[in-house]
């Protein structure tokens, strides 16, 4: 009886195994083929691939493109759409697909970033240009997401705080760089797209930058944190944005700095505070430094668009004279040759020249891009707290 039972069980298992194997083969026959995207070749050309048997059109839009909005992918007999670029210079690039007109990140690429409501996949071409923001074999600092009270805005808000390698085990007090994002971004921008923490890790490891904290807070005074508007505002429009004019700068000086100096081991003096920002953050930097001239000793203005043709230049000159007389260790300005804010940037430079304000100016290739802003931070940070 037992042997017959065992025989029956064995036969049942064999039949079940055959059935499972047939089902697996059927599934495999309908599974999408393995797709690698992006694939970086030895010559630094990049191949993008998307599998779709239903799409009618797939194009890619990437940050390396100049005077071209998008490039089409071609479909093969297996349903794989692909495109190979020309060799690209060493740098970090982000991109999106448009699949029948619908924007999508690369489903085969786990590396993605967010800039406000915009999401994109990214890749890094290795080489000298990208080494400064790569995840290298160096000691690493830490990033904390910190909630703090902002009485001036009547909000509980969030910021990112980078502490340098060795901070937790040391008793040292450190200087602080307050680093501001641009329009459309938030407190996440400088660590994700800007890779500020990795840039500082690498600069500190090289011995070219002084160990420092970096404070990256949300420059949108109507938000508590990433993409979350306060209830009394709701959807932000051009019409209601004006009510927040100058309020972020007030919150930065009256709420953020006191919180940092109470809760972190930092040097609480003007010579140990730096302020820098890109685009809108550059405008915030200009306003905060001139409205609170005794607060920051180092100023960095990246691609700022604050001064239009109707600006009251005489009033601005008075403010810059006051800032100059307060004593500034370093005033550093940078902009791309093709940046759409160049005319505004020139107005800033003319004010600095007219008031005799000692400053350094760095002009790069390219325009209003994160490729430039990462470079600017890598150049500016070693100039601080020397």
Report helix, strand or coil for 27: helix
Residues near 29 by beta carbon (within 8 Å), at least 6 away in sequence: none
Greater confidence, 209 or 16? 209
What is the reported pLDDT for 258?
Answer: 98
Cα–Cα distances in angstroms (integers) from residue 129 to residues 89, 123, 195, 219, in the given order? 8, 14, 14, 29
pLDDT tens digits for range 72-81? 999 999 999 9
DSSP one-letter string for 216-275: EE---TTEEETTEE-TTT-S--HHHHGGGTTHHHHHIIIIIHHHHHHHS-B--SGGGEEE
182/282 Cα distance (integer angstroms): 8
Is residue 27's pLDDT more than 80?
no
pLDDT tens digits for range 320-347? 999 999 999 999 999 999 999 999 999 9
pLDDT tens digits for range 178-197? 999 999 899 999 999 999 99
Task: Please report the domains of the chain, with CATH numbers, ordered by start residue.
Answer: 39-125 (2.60.40.10), 131-383 (3.40.50.1820)
Report helix, strand or coil for 16: helix
155/246 Cα distance (integer angstroms): 16
Structure tokens at 338: 């093709």
pTM of the model: 0.87
């Amino acid at each position: 009886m037992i042997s017959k039972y065992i025989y029956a069980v064995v036969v049942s298992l064999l039949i079940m195994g055959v059935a499972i194997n047939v089902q697996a083969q059927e599934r495999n026959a309908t599974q999408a083929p393995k797709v690698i995207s992006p694939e970086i070749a030895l010559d630094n050309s990049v191949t993008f691939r998307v599998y779709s048997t239903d799409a009618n059109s797939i194009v890619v839009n990437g940050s390396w493109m100049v005077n071209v909005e998008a490039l089409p992918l071609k479909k093969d007999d297996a349903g794989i759409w692909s495109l190979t670029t020309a060799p690209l210079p060493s740098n970090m690039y982000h991109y999106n697909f448009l699949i029948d007109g619908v924007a999508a990140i690369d489903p085969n690429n786990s590396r993605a970033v967010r800039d406000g409501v915009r999401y994109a996949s990214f890749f890094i071409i290795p080489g000298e240009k990208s080494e400064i923001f790569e995840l290298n074999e160096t000691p690493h600092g830490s990033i904390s997401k910190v909630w703090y009270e902002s009485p001036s805005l009547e909000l509980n808000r969030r910021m990112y705080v980078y502490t340098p390698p060795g901070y937790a085990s040391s008793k040292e007090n450190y200087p602080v760089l307050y680093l501001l994002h641009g329009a459309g971004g938030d407190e996440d921008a400088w660590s994700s797209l800007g890779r500020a923490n990795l840039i500082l890790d690498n600069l500190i490891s090289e011995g070219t930058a002084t160990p420092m904290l970096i404070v990256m807070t949300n420059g949108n005074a109507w938000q508590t944190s990433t993409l979350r508007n306060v209830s009394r505002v709701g959807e932000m429009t051009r019409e209601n944005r004006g009510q927040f004019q100058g309020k972020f700068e007030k919150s930065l000086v009256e709420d953020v700095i006191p919180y940092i100096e109470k809760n972190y081991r930092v040097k609480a003096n003007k010579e140990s505070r730096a302020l820098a920002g890109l685009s809108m953050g550059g405008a915030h930097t200009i306003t905060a430094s001139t409205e609170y001239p005794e607060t920051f000793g180092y100023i960095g203005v990246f691609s700022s668009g604050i001064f239009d043709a109707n600006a009251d230049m005489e009033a601005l000159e008075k403010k810059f004279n006051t800032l100059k007389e307060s004593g500034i260790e370093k005033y550093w300005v940078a902009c791309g040759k093709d940046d759409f804010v160049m005319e505004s940037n020139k107005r800033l430079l003319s004010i600095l020249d007219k008031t005799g304000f000692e400053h350094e100016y760095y002009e790069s290739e390219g325009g209003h891009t994160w490729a430039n802003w990462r470079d600017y931070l890598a150049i500016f940070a070693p100039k601080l707290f020397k």
